[in-house]
Amino acid sequence: MKRLWYRGWHWLCAGIWFERISRLDAGRLSGVGPVLYIGLHRNGAVDGLVYRHVLPHCTFLISTQLRRNPLGRLFFDGIGIARTSDEGDQNRNVIALRECHDLLAAGGALFVFPEGTSSLGPRHLPFKSGAARIVLDHLATGRPLRIVPLGIHYERAWAFRSRVEVVVGEPVPTDLEPALGRFGRLREMKERMTCALEAVGVNFDSSAEQETAEFLSHAAVIGTSRSYFNTLKSFESAIPSGALARWRELEPEFARDGVWRHQGVPLFPAHSHSVTPYILTLAALGPLVLAGLIANLPPLAAAWLAGRKLADGPNVIALWRILVGVPVAVIWFVGMTAAIAMGIGSAAAGGYVVLTLLALKGFHPTGQLAVTVGNGILHGASGGKFRTFLQSLRLESSRE
């Protein structure tokens, strides 16, 4: 029952917070154990919610810090281990590692973050040796083990109803030469795991280069079926020079004119003089979404304040918004539904439920529509320039 609770709760949190969670190369996920999943760590403990969405039956190796208080215990479950930077009894780590070994020996699935902590920076953090040690100890028993790397990529890591992609990499080979010795095998396995994780991640030389690549990738995939990760990965070796030059010409002009953006990207109608369909769609959808948001304003305000007041870095903004916003939203939703049903009637309560779900599903597309309409009306002349830029960007990125 405990495991079912966390699966359901994490599914609810991910469903509320994210507009879409996509899996790339999901066929590489193994349904048969024992299997060790190793994942890149980007957006704090929120990564765990997303990975759990993809791997509902997996047991996570987590920091004991996450379960130090009732709020953390409400959200997080797994095998707790005290990192060197954590407060807590690190002697218990021996017991935690034994639990990991027992889980794999029983044919289970274990998830480990080799970086140990998260960062939204331009490169992955240094990988620790713990996951490689777990692998070697398991292989020493003569049992097989499948090692699957996963990457995680957010279009806008801290934004409500943004999109995220989970990338499943090629399994890591586990055949090792006995002549290498314990240290040599450890170094070889860690190197293999590093290469596998870098294949499902992206690394840039600087934060400025990362920011540029993320913007161009987000712009390139909007309104298409293209993968955000695949586009971003193609920019790892070289950002399209022609498209970048065009954007650098446009950016000061757009900033000066106050061109609207959605999740950092300017949006315009697909064709010149075609703003009318967008206006009509926004007029039909917008009031319903706005009404649903107003009806649930307290949890939205609580989540916004939590991210603003409690987060000490970009990689934990979404975490604090979820930790505070989701429980408040559930309490508010249940209370409002019951109050409306008792005070007005079940039909009105049903209307509130439908309005809330519509606001949740329509938040992202309505935001895009609003920005598109605003720019179409106020900055129509800039639309042609941006469409030309997008054309060249998509052409160059497809060649990459």
Q: What pLDDT is recorded for position 3? A: 74
Q: Are residues 282 and 253 in the same domain?
A: no
CA 59, 63, 67, 72 dihedral sign is: negative
Say whether pLDDT at 200 is over 70: yes
Nearest alpha carbon to residue 323 among 72, 78, 154, 80: 72
Instruction: Give CA angle at 307 (301, 311), nearest 5°.
Output: 155
List of residues 6+ apart from 346 with CB closer than 8 A: none
Say whether pLDDT at 317 is over 80: yes
Residue in the structure block whose two tokens are 């409002």: 336
In a domain, 11, yes or no: yes
Confidence of residue 146 (pLDDT cuts 50, 70, 90): very high
DSSP 3-state assignment of 354? helix
The CATH number assigned to the domain holding 114 equals 3.40.1130.10
Share of the chain above pLDDT 70, in %: 97
CA 377, 380, 382, 388 dihedral sign is: positive
Q: Are residues 223 and 363 in the same domain?
A: no
CA distance 343 to 354: 18
In a domain, 45, yes or no: yes
Domain boundary (178, 199, 220) is at 199
- How many of the other CB atoms lie within 10 Å of CB of 62? 21
Say whether pLDDT at 400 is over 60: no
DSSP 3-state assignment of 43? coil
In a domain, 384, yes or no: no
DSSP 263-315: TTEE---SSTT-HHHHHHHHHHHHHHHHHHHHHTHHHHHHHHHHHHHT-SSGG
Average pLDDT, the chain: 92
Q: Are residues 30 and 156 in the same domain?
A: yes
Q: Are residues 241 and 351 in the same domain?
A: no
In a domain, 140, yes or no: yes
Mean pLDDT of 332-343: 96
- Give Cα 319 distance to the centre of its chain: 11
CA distance 58 to 51: 9
Domain tally, the chain: 3
Q: Are residues 245 and 365 in the same domain?
A: no
Strands (E), the chain: 18-24, 35-39, 59-63, 79-81, 109-112, 146-154, 162-168, 261-262, 265-266
CA distance 72 to 68: 7
Q: What pLDDT is recorded for position 85? A: 59
Q: Are residues 151 and 229 in the same domain?
A: no
In a domain, 52, yes or no: yes
Give the type of residue at 382.
S
Instruction: Provide the token pair at 247.
Output: 């954007």
Instruction: Give CA angle at 14 (298, 310), nearest 5°.
Output: 50
Q: Are residues 262 and 128 in the same domain?
A: no
Q: What pLDDT is recorded for position 271? A: 84
Alpha helices in 310-345 (DSSP H): 317-343
Question: Model pTM?
Answer: 0.92
Burial class (CB in 10 A: 0-12, 13-18, 19+), 57: exposed
Look at strands 35-39 and 59-63 and give their pairing: unpaired
In a domain, 364, yes or no: yes
Q: Are residues 110 and 243 in the same domain?
A: no
Q: Are residues 41 and 91 in the same domain?
A: yes
Q: Are residues 194 and 211 in the same domain?
A: no
List of residues 6+ apart from 234 with CB closer than 8 A: 397, 400
Looking from the CA of 333 toward its CB, the CA atoms found within 13 Å total: 20
- Give Cα 205 distance to the centre of its chain: 22
Looking from the CA of 83 toward its CB, the CA atoms found within 13 Å total: 15
Q: What pLDDT is recorded for position 335? A: 97
Nearest alpha carbon to residue 258 among 159, 385, 378, 373: 378
Q: Are residues 135 and 97 in the same domain?
A: yes
DSSP 166-202: EEE-PPPP----GGGHHHHHHHHHHHHHHHHHHHTS-
pLDDT in tens, 271-298: 877 899 999 999 999 999 999 999 999 9
Confidence of residue 73 (pLDDT cuts 50, 70, 90): confident
Show the domain range for 131.
2-199
In a domain, 385, yes or no: no
